[in-house]
């Protein structure tokens, strides 16, 4: 009788332990799903090739910005994927994404809203919008990185990328604050990279050079990785400081 009672106690304890383990695993699963929806994916990047379709962007000497943007974006995608990043592009061909917002204002505005809608479907670790610059002063040249004004993470990402781009270009440029629709309406750290001035003869040559575009793409990757490393392991300071450790 005593042996049966002991066996019964052992069976009850085992069942309780098993039930506790099952509940714990279920809680972990649910928590993981919720957390995955709240936190950005550290290896997912969205590339946004500016313009497209009937919107050619700026131009110079027969070159259309939309074509350069798309070519560079595909090169950047290949570079990032080679380093184990998952990449999503807002467009992969000569088109716009205004069809994602079928009603509303102008096609141009619907295209911008469509890009934001695509970006907000995922939780990327960063958004990189690719563009080409133009200025009436043809001597202006060099890649410039823009970030949304008063957005700290975007500024840090921009400075990290600008630092790497300055290593490979003859002119040293500084990041610039801006107020662009896609940057302003994106929750992820976001930057807009103007790869060069299509109005400048020297930059125009480089913007058609696949080898140089690949160097630019790798510079963007290095800047992104520096930003992510800094975000994961922020420096410990004894006193608050406004100094940016990525700009040195």
Adjacency order of strands within the sheet including 86-89: 86-89, 41-49, 124-133, 190-197, 144-148, 176-178
Nearest-CA neighbor of 91 among 54, 118, 124?
118
Sign of CA dihedral 125, 208, 246, 242: negative
CA gap 82, 79 in Å, rounded: 5
**Residues of 175-186 as b/e, b for ≥16 C-beta within 10 angstroms?**
beebebebbebb
CA gap 158, 174 in Å, rounded: 9
Tokens for 32? 């993981």
pLDDT at 136: 97
Tokens for 151? 């957005």
Question: Residue 94: CB partners within 8 Å, gap ≥ 6?
Answer: 52, 53, 66, 67, 70
CA gap 208, 200 in Å, rounded: 13
pLDDT in single tens digits along all 248 residues of the chain = 555 555 545 444 555 655 454 344 434 333 333 333 444 567 999 999 999 999 999 999 999 999 999 999 999 999 999 999 999 999 999 998 887 787 777 888 888 989 999 998 998 999 999 999 999 999 999 999 999 999 999 999 999 999 999 999 999 999 999 999 999 999 999 999 999 999 999 999 999 999 999 999 999 999 999 999 998 766 543 333 333 333 32
CA gap 188, 113 in Å, rounded: 16
pLDDT at 202: 98
Structure pTM?
0.78
pLDDT at 100: 74
| CA 139 centroid distance within chain | 30
Sign of CA dihedral 56, 122, 45, 185: positive
pLDDT at 188: 95
């Amino acid at each position: 009788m005593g042996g049966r009672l002991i066996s019964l106690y052992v069976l009850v304890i085992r069942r309780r332990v098993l039930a506790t383990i099952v509940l714990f695993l279920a809680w972990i699963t649910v928590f993981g799903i919720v957390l995955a929806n709240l936190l950005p994916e550290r290896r997912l990047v969205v590339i946004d090739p500016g313009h497209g379709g009937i919107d050619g962007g700026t131009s110079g000497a027969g070159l259309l910005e939309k074509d350069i943007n798309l070519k560079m974006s595909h090169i950047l995608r290949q570079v990032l994927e080679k380093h184990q990043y998952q990449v999503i592009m807002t467009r992969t061909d000569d088109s716009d994404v205004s069809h994602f917002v079928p009603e509303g204002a102008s096609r141009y505005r619907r295209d911008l809203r469509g890009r934001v809608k695509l970006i907000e479907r995922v939780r990327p670790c960063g958004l990189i919008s690719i563009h080409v610059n133009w200025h009436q002063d043809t001597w202006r040249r060099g890649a410039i990185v823009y970030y949304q004004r008063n957005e700290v993470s975007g500024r840090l990402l921009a400075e990290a990328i600008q630092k790497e781009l300055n290593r490979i270009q003859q002119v040293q440029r500084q990041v610039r604050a801006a107020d662009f629709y896609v940057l302003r309406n994106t929750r992820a750290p976001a930057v807009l990279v103007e790869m060069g001035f299509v109005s400048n003869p020297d930059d125009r040559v480089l913007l058609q050079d696949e080898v140089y575009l690949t160097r630019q793409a790798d510079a963007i990757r290095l800047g992104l990785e520096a930003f992510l490393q800094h975000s994961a392991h922020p420096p410990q300071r004894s006193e608050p400081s406004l100094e940016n450790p990525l700009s040195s």
